[in-house]
Structure formats: C-alpha cells, structure tokens
Structure 1
Amino acid sequence: MRQIGIRETKTNIEDTHRRRSKRRMTKEEEPLSPMARMFQSYGTDYCTIIIIGFKTKINPHVILDDLKQNVYKHPRISSKLADDGATWIKTEINVEDHVFVPHIDLDEIGDYGENFVEDYVSRLTTIPLDRSRPLWDIHILNVKTSDAEAVAVIRSHHSLGDGMSRMSLIMACTRKTSDPKACPTIPILKRREKVSQNKSWFLRSMVAICSTVRLIWNTIVDLLLLLATVLFLKDTKTSLKGGADAESNRKILCHRIVSLDDIRLIKDVMDMTINDVLIGVTQAALSRYLNKPHDKVNVDGGTLTPLLNNIPSSIRVRAGVLVNLRSKVGIQPLADMMAKDSECRWGNHINIVVLPLSIALKTDPLIYLSKAQSTMDRKKNSLQAPVLYSIMRFILKIFGGKIGAALFKRLLLNTTAFFSNVNGPTEEISFHGHPIAYIAPSVYGHSQALMIHFQSYAEKMVISIAVDPTIISDPHKLCDEMEESLKSMKAALLERGLLINKQVSVRVNNM
C-alpha cells in the first residue's frame, strides 16, 4: 500500500511503474476477446474509472486485507497482458503495488472536497497503467464531499472486462447494508418481447415474415451507414465534438444523482423502457446545452436576445452506445460469469451501435421521449451489433489488432458522444462495514470529448459525465441540463394529470 503526498501523486505512481519486479509465471494463458484486443491494441489505451462514494471514512487496511485474500481467485485480475497483447498470462501479484493512499492535508482543501477529488481523478487519466503487471489500481481518498464521507477510485484497463463484468465483481465483494451476511440482490431483467395474441396462424405467419424482412433490411442499412461513418460520414462540428487529440488529453469527470423512481414513473406512463427515458433526457439536455450559448445581438441597443432555437435543422449528432451481446441480460452472479462455457461469460462481450440523436429545441419535452423510443425500437430491430462483432473478429484474425483498432478509432472519431447504461444493486450495499453512497463509472482514452454513463444504485440513478476540458469546459453545466431535462419531463406529465393518475393507480395496486 503506497502512502504518497498529493503533489507527488503522479511522480510516485510513475516511479512505481518503473520499478519492475521479477514475477514467477505460470503456463496458463487465455486469449483476449475481439473487443478487448481493440481496447489495448497499438496506440490504443482505453481505461475505466469507477468512483465509489462511501458513507464512512475508509480503512485502507480492510481493503488491503480483502485483496490479499481474494485477488488471486480471479484469473483476469491476477493476470497481465502478454507482450503480443493477444493473451492473458497468470502471474503472482503484489497487492501493495496496486493500492495508493495519498497523504491529504484536510486543512488545506477545506470545504472543497469535490474539487480535490475531481482534480485527482483528472490527473489519473494522464498516467498510463503499468503493463508489466495486472492492469488495475485503487486510490483511497478520505475526503468529504457533498455525496460521501470518502471516495475510492478503482482504475482498470477496459480490456479486463466490460461494465457488466465489473459490476458483477463489485456485487460479489459486497453485502447488503441491511443484512451484512446476505449478498446483494441481483436485478432480474428480461428482454422485452411483443407477443401477438388472438391472431390466426396466417396473420402470425405474415407478421413473422414481415418482421424478418424488416430485420434484414435494417441490418443492411445500419452496416452500410456504419461503413460510411468509418470512411467519410462525420457528425456536425459542434461545441461537443472532439477530435484526434481528445483520446490523449486529460479528462474531467463529474456526476449527478437523480431519482430512479422519477425515471420509472416516466417509463410507466409513457410505456417505454428506462433506456428510452435516459436517451430522451440526454437528447433534451444536449439540445439545451447546444442552444444556450447562441444569442442574437441587437445592433441598435447592443443587447443580447436569446434565440428560441438556434440549432440547425440539418445538424447530425450521433452517439456510440454499448450493447450487451450475452444471451442473458443484466448483471449475472460472478460465479456464473467465471464458469467455463458460460452463456454470460466474463470479459468484453459487447459491441457498439451508432445511435442518431434528435437535437432540436422543443417546447414540449415529451417529444424527446417519443423520438428516443422510436429510435431505440428501430435499433432493436437490427442485428448490427452481433454482425459487427463477427466482422471485427474476422478483421482481427486476418489483418491484426492494429488495423482493427484503427477502424474502430475512425468510427469513434466521426461521432460525437459515447453512452453506456449498467444496472446496479437494488438496495444499499456495503464493503466490510463501509456503506456505499453511490457508484459512478466512466471511461477515458476515446477520441470523443463526451462520455455519459448511467448507473442505477438502490433508488438512485447516477449520471456520470467525462469530458475533454479543451472542448467542453464546464461538464457540471451538462449535469445541470440533464437534471433539469428530467424535471421538465416529470412536470409536463404532472401538468397533464398523467403522472398523478399513475401514482394513484400504483398506490391502489399496492394496497
């Protein structure tokens, strides 16, 4: 466990990386998945950061002891990358090299805990992980913020696993706060299916044929648009659009906690999924953000008159959205994910779908929801993600990781943002007596200037935003817009009496 001064944090971590210790290797090796190879190929360095807020101060020795007892049980966490970047090699691990506890002068930072954590995490995004050992580390910050008494920052390479894998590991390491001996309840999710009833065999057959034709057509169109995006089709240049330098620039991470109940109520009233609501909220927030800086100058009086809508009608803004390719949706028990031949295997069993966003200023915020639902329904009726996964595997096998990563970079470079949504525990959880207040995941190393991650936890939805500050100078403003957009949608439903009727109906059904 490293005790380091805050001003020497970066220097000490880099010095630690330079101290190469000899480790005894075993012959056990495991190949990387196609997406994992993309995330760490030559010139590519995609990493994840999970910021966990705790309701009490953190005892570093508790974390260290737990890691010593359990880290060797997980083959991926206790393995390092082979020199060829294509396989994992099991290795002996010195846990102390992976846990950092900076010395913090609490009198110096005073009431600015958020600023301290934000600056610390931002500097971490400029420090590469040491590839001579397992690609992860933990930073313990006993600093009070508005949402927590202390913060733990878990940094790892994206090639270790996707969001589903990481959340499965977190839930395996924690217990219910209400019952310290009980494991967290894993949310059960099912794929939404529309079942046609009261139809004849002929009608059902015709519907199935039409659905199949539409599925094939949508898949072909999506793949052609994807190819066009890689080759030449770029998003409109806006104050959110990144560039080639964004992947190497430092990132600023912040988050906002909103009510998950509000999102569920909107979902039920509008008869859509939580993902639809989140995309609708995001479309509204980005529209408000892009419109606000544009003011019209009155030449005579020299005053600024806000324009009602200064967003071009032809604007193109798209986001890469991660899709889980496992046959089972949602978080799965860690033991199931680590089992051989599992249907929900640990790793990066995901792929990207390019989602067009409806960016325009609307007087009715519910329009963003209906447009989001329409777009998501269209994307669900396509096999773009699994087909692209097979294409990527073929490219990696024939042309190698360097070509595959270059094509993947082009796809991200020509789009604007990156979205991800991961379901978390349905109740409050604790780590060895440390109750968790929130979980805020994010990613850095991509060429987009904007990353938005949604993480549910108990009755909260955490909106985690990572930006390139050279492009987006105030990510907190984006958080404000996300929160205001959600409030405006709830208010619109209240005005129409829809939300009140739904709340009354829920109370009656629960009696």
Structure 2
Amino acid sequence: MEFVTRRRKKRMIKPIKVIDKGLMKFDEEEKEEPLSPSSIVFHKPNFNIHILAIMGCKTLVDLELCKSKIPLTLLKHPRFSSLVVGDLSKGEELKWVRTEVDLDKHIIVPNIDSENIVSPEKYVEDYIYNLSKTTLDKSRPLWDIHILHLKLNEDVKALGIFRIHHSLGDGTSLISLLLALTRKTSDPKALPTIPTQKIMSNDNKIRKGLICRSIFVLWWVLQLFWNTFNDVLMFVATALFLKDNSPLKSSLGRVSNTPRRIVYKIFSLDDMKLVKNAIGGTINDVALGITQAGLSRYLSRKYGNDENNIEDSTEKMKKFPKNIRLRSVLLINIRPSGGIQALADMMEKDTEAKWGNSLGYVLLPFTIGLRDDPLDYIREAKATVDRKKHSLEVNYTFFMAEVVMKLFGIKVASAISDRINAHTTIAFSNLVGPMEEIGFYGHPLAFLAPSSYGQPNELMINFQSYINKMTVVLAVDEEVIPDPHQLCDDIVESLKLVKEAAITQGLVKDFVATKGCQTI
C-alpha cells in the first residue's frame, strides 16, 4: 500500500565539477538544505543507524573502474556529496552542505592474508562485526564502501560492503539507489527488472464498486476506521507504558550502541513461491510466517523441548513463558519512491527524483507458539498483514510525529521514539530484488544481503530476493541471541516443513517432487 504526501520543493543544485584523484568540487557558492525531522532523529547518540548492503561479487573488483564510475553516478546524488553540519546538543539546526568528496577516503580495501584464513565466511562475519563497532566520520559525507578480495566459494570471489548512514534515506530507497547503479549482465545498458504487485485498474475498481452493495462499502469503511483506531491506540500505549514481554529482550537495557553479529543464509525463492501459491498469499506473508515459525522453534529449544520429543504442541507450549508479547516496529517511508529508473536518471541526467525520510510507524505483532500444522504459521501471518494493510496507522503515526516535533521540539519527539523502540523487540523488512543477474559497475553479483546496525532493537531480520534466491539476514545482539546461525537454520527449516505440509495436504498442483527445501 502506498501513501502519498505533498512533495517538498527541492532547491536547484549546480552541477558537480570533477577534478583529479577522485576529488569532487562545486561552484564556490555552497548549497545548504535543512535535514528533515525524520532524518534528524537518526543523529541521536542512541539511534545512530547505519545501513549495510553486502554484495557478493563473482569476480575481483576493479577499483580504478569503480572510482571512474562513482563521480558520474553516485556523487551526483546530493546526499552522497554533502556533509551534515550542526550540533544537536548545542541546539543548532542540522543542515546538508555540499562539499568536496575524496574517493580514496570512501573506498576502503583492507589487506587480507587469505592463505592464513581458515574460514573465509568467519573472517567476513568478524569484519562486519568489528565494523559495527564504528560510526561514519561526520567530517565527510556519510557513506563508504569496503572491498574484500576474499574467495568465499566458487561463485563469490570478492565482497563489497556498502555502508550508508540512515539519515541519507530509508532502507527501501537506499537499496533502490544501489540497484539503480547496477545493470543487467545480459544487457549492460538495461536497468534490473523488479517484480511489481499487480494493481486493479481504476475502471475495474469503479465497476466492482458499482456491483458491491452499499452495506459492504460501509462495512469496509467501518473496519478501516476501527483498525486504525486500535492501531493508533496501541501505538500511544506502547509509547507510554506497554512493553514487550519477550524472552528476546536484553537484560542490559538499551542495545543501540552494542556491536551486531550479522549472519545470513541463502535458499530457494521458488520454495517460497510454492507456499505462497498454496495458501493464496504473498511472499511477504510467507517470510513473516516462517520467521514466526523459526522463532518458535528456536525458543522451544531454549526452554527444553527436544526436537525428537513426541509430546504434542500443547504440552510443549507449557514450558514457554506465559503471555509472550513480541512485536516488530516498522519504519515506513510514506514519501512515494520514483523507482530505480527515476534514480538512475537523477544520477546520469541530473533530473529530479523523490527522496528523503518521511517515516511513519507500524507495530507488527509476532505470534510465538508451536503449531501441529506448519501452514498455520503462514495463515496467521497472512491474517496479520491483511489487517495491517486495512489500516491508516502509518499515516496517523507520521502525522502525530510531525505535530509533536513542531509543538514540542526534537527532544520530546526523540523521547517518544526512544520509548517505542525500547518497548519493542524486532525490526523486520522484506525487500524485492532483481529478477535477473545484475552487475555493479560491471561486476556480476552472486547475492545481495542488506542489514543494519545501531538500531535499538535486539533483533533485525531482513529478507532480500535476487533472481531465484532469497537471502535471510539477521543482525543480533549476542547477549540475547548467542547462536544466530541456529536461528537462521530454524527459519530455513521452517520453510521446508511448511513446503512439505503444502504438498502433503494436496495444496500444490503440478508439483515435481524435490528433496525438501533447497539451500544455496
């Protein structure tokens, strides 16, 4: 569901002039633009979020080629060639100020002694873990790229880790920007093809509306208002007092400044499509469902339930804590995105594209429990998502945040944001990726794995599709989840069980039997 807000008029910025050694320079008149209220929030000490895009490359990275391409594309985006100037602690307004960009300070290539590395995967995991202990230097634009020339397997010869401060944009926009820098390997001039959700045409909507009886329309409207009222009430209660009662909450309090262990696993997107078609839902329904199933399996083991235990789910649930409340807070940008074509045109042709953080909140409850029928996890997730779609929660929470910001200032608005995050546990996202192989400045990619650190939530879960693969990425506080690989395995194993249940129950037509869930 897209939510449209009034577009702010953008200031015209003069073209960038390129000088030697990857240094970017502007005309002498500096351009300034104030940060949006949503972007300001990301500069608080306890909400200093950095987004990571991990790219597995099939070839070694040509550094000189990248340095020659970046000034012609990425640096034409104003946010990637601007400093954040001002100090919140002194009451100063934060502004974007255009500046020179020295690429040698933004492209980091560590020296790696690959011959003495026992496990390349563990080396990369530790590298990202140590990276999450650091923040971007505010004396230059808030992004960098880390190039690791390290062979992980036959498909991955190097890694690129694109790190961007969240104040530059929301996660979906930044991933779209990354994709706008890529091209199909089959057609180096063509942008990636991104799947889009089919939307009913206006004529069909009108025709269907005429067929529907007025009582049905009235019921639909009443449900919309009722759902919105309950969601906003829950948001207010969460800001005031309602906390998650969750085994995954940290006993140490806020965890925003703790380093994050980021792990990922790649499996078959076709398996998710099979389940999606079996229950008549979406990939997002399946992603949420197997996450709930994986978390339930993980916590069940934590509370002493053996996987081979013949007890039914009711008996096993008796070992769980009572009245578990586990929720995810979703930050949704209500400013509509122009898509990767608009972003590509902005960077290559100096056109305008919609950009910026205009964020509303959605609180998404996670159902934790053991089910005898694995498909029940997907059905429950679908019911939750369908209800959230039929609500204006994100619009009202954005409006409330804007009103509080204008009336009471950034400190009060930040305090409310802190309480919302302190009272919830998980951050969750599902991003749609290209349908065919793409190359980043000519380097073909084997996989994409987005994540983040600096968020106050104990667990961050990202799903990212790419061709016929799906990657699930976890960013965890190790004090809460000391074995994130096990949780990753539980989520993938849950998909296997859901898929087998769909086949066994005869919900899949024209199915050719395969051996369980395919991992890659």
Q: 1:56 — aligned with what?
A: 59
Q: Could you list the per-position Cα deviations for residues 292-331 of structure 1 after superposition, in whole angstroms to 9, with x for gaps in the alignment?
A: 122279xxxxxx9987332245211111124342446975
- Whole-angstrom CA distance in 2 between matches of 1:144 and 1:238: 37
**Residue pair 1:47, 1:444 contacting (<8 A) in 2 also:** yes
Structure 1 residue runs of 5 or longer lacking an equivalent are 1-21, 298-303, 505-511
Which residue, 475, 478, 485 being the options, matches 1:476? 485
State the match for 1:46 in structure 2: 49
Aligned residue number for residue 149 of structure 2: 142
Match for residue 78 of structure 2 among 39, 61, 75: 75
Task: For 1:319 and 1:47, locate their aligned partners in 2 and report how far apart those are by CA, in whole Å.
Answer: 19
Shift of the 187–350 alpha-carbon distance from structure 1 to 2, 3 Å rule, reads farther
3-state SS in 1 of match to 2:163? strand
User: Counterparts of 2:51 and 2:199 in 1: how far apart (Å)?
Assistant: 27
In 1, the alpha carbon distance for the partners of 2:174 and 2:263 equals 20
Distance 1:390 1:234 in 2: 23
Amino acid at match of 1:58: V
AA paired with 1:97?
A: K
Distance in 1 of aligned mates of 2:301 and 2:70: 48
Distance in 2 (CA, whole Å) between partners of 1:252 and 1:364 is: 32
Residue 6 of structure 1 corresponds to none
Do residues 109 (structure 1) and 117 (structure 2) align?
Answer: yes
What is the aligned counterpart of 1:488 among 472, 497, 507? 497
Q: Residue 466 of structure 2 aligns with which residue?
A: 457
CA distance in 1, matches of 2:48, 2:208: 53
The CA distance in 1 between the partners of 2:127 and 2:145, in whole Å, is: 13
**Shift in Å at residue 156 of structure 1?**
1.1
TM (norm. structure 2) is: 0.84
The CA deviation string for residues 34-75 of structure 1, in whole angstroms up to 9 with x for no partner, is 322222235431111111111112222222222234343111
Corresponding position of 2:104: 96
SS of residue paired to 1:65: helix
Q: Which amino acid aligns with 1:145?
A: L
**Which amino acid in 1 is paired with 2:144?**
D
Does the alignment pair 1:181 with 2:197? no
| Among candidates 29, 32, 37, match of residue 35 of structure 2 | 32
1:397 is matched with 406
CA contact (8 A) 2:401 2:413 kept: yes
Q: 1:148 to 1:352 in 2, by over 3 A?
A: farther
The 3-state SS of whatever aligns with 1:396 is helix
Residue of structure 1 aligned with 2:95, choices 87, 101, 110 = 87
Letter in 1 for 2:459: L
Q: Counterparts of 1:491 and 1:379 in 2: how far apart (Å)? A: 28
CA deviations over 1:366-420 (Å, ceiling 9, x no partner): 0011111111111111101011111112222232223222211211111111101
Task: Tell me, yes or no, if the aligned pair for 2:73 and 2:181 is still in contact at 8 Å.
Answer: no
- What are the Cα deviations for residues 241-279 of structure 1, in whole angstroms up to 9, with x where unaligned? 575331011101011112111111211221111111111
1:126 to 123, 128, 133: 133
2:274 counterpart of 1:252? no
* Separation in 2, partners of 1:291, 1:330: 41
Give yes or no for contact 2:181–2:344 (8 Å, CA) kept in 1: no
Greater shift after overlay, 319-328 or 211-220? 319-328
Per the alignment, in what secondary structure is the counterpart of residue 333 of structure 1?
helix
Q: Structure 2: which 5+ runs fail to align?
A: 1-24, 87-91, 514-520
Give the partner amino acid of 2:326. V
Secondary structure of 1:308 counterpart: helix
Distance in 1 separating the partners of 2:139 and 2:60:
32
Change (3 A) 1:102 1:367: same
Q: In the alignment, is the contact (CA less than 8 A) between 1:101 and 1:140 conserved in 2? A: yes
Q: Equivalences for 1:204-215 in 2 at 5 Å?
A: 204-215=213-224
Residues 47, 199 of structure 1: alpha-carbon distance in 2 compared, 3 angstrom cutoff: closer
Distance in 2, Cα, partners of 1:181 & 1:327: 26
* Mean CA deviation greater in 401-410 or 436-445: 401-410
CA 1:249–1:336: 2 relative to 1, 3 Å: same
- Asked if the contact 2:76–2:350 (Cα under 8 Å) also holds between the matched residues in 1, the reply is no
Distance 2:500 2:114 in 1: 41
Higher mean C-alpha deviation, range 471-480 or range 202-211: 202-211
After superposition, residues 50-449 of structure 1 pair within 5 angstroms as 50-83=53-86, 84=92, 86-110=94-118, 112-146=119-153, 148-190=156-198, 203-239=212-248, 241=250, 244-295=253-304, 308-309=316-317, 310-312=319-321, 314-327=323-336, 333-335=342-344, 345-449=354-458
Distance 1:73 1:442 in 2: 25
CA distance in 2 between counterparts of 1:452 and 1:311 reads 22
What percentage of aligned pairs have identical amino acids? Answer: 42
The 3 A distance-change label for structure 1 pair 455 and 349 is farther
TM-score by length of 1: 0.86
Any conservation in 2 of the 1:189–1:329 contact (CA below 8 Å)?
Answer: no
In 1: Cα distance, 2:243 partner to 2:201 partner: 34
CA contact (8 A) 1:188 1:330 kept: no
Q: Secondary structure at the match of 2:302?
A: coil
Query: CA separation of 1:123/1:44 partners in 2, compared to 1, >3 Å: closer, same or farther?
Result: same
Cα 1:423–1:203 shift into 2, 3 Å = closer
Structure 2 CA distance for aligned equivalents of residues 139 and 153 of structure 1: 5
Check the 8 A contact 1:311/1:361 in 2, yes or no.
no
**Aligned to 2:135, what secondary structure does the other structure show?**
coil
Question: In the comparison of the two structures, how many residue pairs are matched?
Answer: 476
Secondary structure, aligned partner of 1:102: coil
1:103 match: secondary structure: coil
Q: Tell me if the contact between 1:44 and 1:405 (Cα under 8 Å) persists in the aligned partners.
A: no
Alpha-carbon distance in structure 2 between the residues aligned to 1:118 and 1:273: 31
Judge which range, 133-142 or 40-49, deviates more: 40-49
Please state whether the residue corresponding to 1:40 is helix, strand or coil.
coil
SS at match of 1:187: coil
- C-alpha separation between the residues in 2 aligned to 1:286 and 1:323? 24
